[in-house]
Amino acid sequence: MQVREAMSSEVLVVGPEHTLRQAARMMSARGVGSAVVIDPDSEGVGIMTERDVLKAIGAGLDPDVERTGAHLTWDVVYAGPDWTVEEAAAAMARGGFRHLVVLDGREVAGVISVRDLMRVWAGQHAPTRS
């Protein structure tokens, strides 16, 4: 199976000037564990995850003051929509992360998460009932 078949194509996009609270509220409302961060003044696409929010708050930072641009990963490993889900899982395991931004050319096509991979795996290995 290819990443395009397993990824979430409805991606939450925030800017680098959103506060952590704003990003967390949007992530919570959408039921997602990450937000893609696009900075018009920078090249590339970053990602902020629920862990980034947790680390900042755990460090005592104010979520109403801190901006997403200061709490994200710019050094992102991107997946292609034609990758296999096995390739995506291997990249996540190597990098120690739970989300991959999927780029189709220079455009964000989606995000694939460990949850997406588990859903695919469970569907392929679901027990049959008699």
Q: What is the pLDDT of residue 41?
A: 77
Place of tokens 């991959």: 100
Structure confidence at residue 129 (pLDDT): 57
* 121, pLDDT greater than 90: no
Comparing 77-81, 96-100, 113-117, 124-128, which segment has the lowest mean pLDDT? 124-128
- 7-16 confidence digits (pLDDT tens): 998 899 999 9
Q: Is the dihedral of CA 81, 9, 114, 100 positive or negative?
A: positive
The confidence band for 130, taking pLDDT boundaries of 50, 70 and 90, is low
Token duo for residue 113: 């998460």
pLDDT in tens, 39-87: 777 767 889 999 999 999 999 999 999 999 899 877 788 999 999 999 9
Task: Report the pLDDT value the prediction gives residue 128, as an integer from 0 to 100.
Answer: 57
Minimum mean pLDDT among 27-31, 41-45, 107-111: which range? 41-45
Q: Which residues contact 53 (CB under 8 A, 6 or more apart)?
A: 20, 23, 24, 27, 63, 71
